[in-house]
């Protein structure tokens, strides 16, 4: 059963502009790697820094943020690894 509702969690940026979806979120919402996801990333502590993109989850539960989205986020927060992010995923 694919994701049918919106899920929200906090995380930090890892190497390669990726973040990991927590296991509890993947299990609760039964996320599948073939399902397209609408992802919204908001940097916590910086006002009005929010970007959306469409992607799929990798087998290891990680999502790679596209390069253009990273560029847009870095306009307001040059070093993204210092900030926590609020991630919202919804069905695509």
Q: Predicted confidence band at 45 (pLDDT cuts at 50, 70, 90)?
A: confident
Dist CA 21 CA 31 (whole Å): 10
Structure tokens given for 91: 């069905």
Cβ pair 10, 58 in contact under 8 A: no
Q: Predicted confidence band at 1 (pLDDT cuts at 50, 70, 90)?
A: low
Closest to 24 measured CA to CA, from 37, 42, 10: 10
Cα torsion 39, 25, 64, 19: sign: positive
Dist CA 67 CA 47 (whole Å): 21
Structure tokens given for 13: 């940026």
What is the predicted pLDDT for the residue at 4? 83
* Share of residues in the chain with pLDDT > 70 (%): 98
What is the predicted pLDDT for the residue at 64? 95
Compute the average pLDDT of residues 53-65.
Answer: 95
Q: Which pTM does this prediction carry?
A: 0.87
């Amino acid at each position: 059963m694919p994701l049918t509702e919106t899920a929200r969690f906090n995380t930090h940026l890892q190497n390669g502009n990726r973040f990991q979806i927590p296991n509890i979120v993947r299990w609760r919402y039964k996320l599948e790697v073939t399902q397209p996801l609408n992802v919204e990333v908001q940097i916590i502590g910086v006002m009005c820094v929010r970007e959306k993109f469409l992607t799929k989850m990798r087998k290891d539960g990680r999502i790679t943020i596209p390069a253009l989205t990273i560029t847009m986020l870095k306009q307001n927060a040059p070093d993204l690894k210092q900030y926590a992010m609020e991630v919202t995923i919804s069905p695509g």
